[in-house]
Amino acid sequence: MPLLSPADELAMIRAQISGLRTREQDLRNALIDAPDAARYGRWAHAEVVTRTVRVFDHRLLPQSLRDDPCYWRERSVIEVRCLPTEPGGLAKWVTPSSARAGAGRRGEGGALTRM
């Protein structure tokens, strides 16, 4: 099996993370709705806590302040975008169900190989 390029591996990892985030949200919602006894597992206990936090809402400021350039700064941001090289690109590598089940095989160097 040939080694994956860094671009392909990064795209695959991001697709897996997306599937894992979806699964995390599903589990989180189930735990919130579950009775306390159902929140205990073999290795972990899920504690559901409600707390209040203060949030600064810039939208409540007058528009003149929000538009004033003296309150804005510019900064450079480096971004790496993973774009498919062919239609359906990443769908061939990872689907939410395979990421959820932890499917995938490790090839040489520990990289996930195509299924």
The per-residue pLDDT for range 99-111, each reduced to its tens digit, is: 444 444 434 444 4
pLDDT tens-digit readout, 16-48: 999 999 999 999 999 999 999 999 999 999 999
**Domain coordinates in residue numbering, the chain:** 6-113
pTM for the whole structure: 0.63
φ/ψ of residue 40, rounded to 5: -105, 130
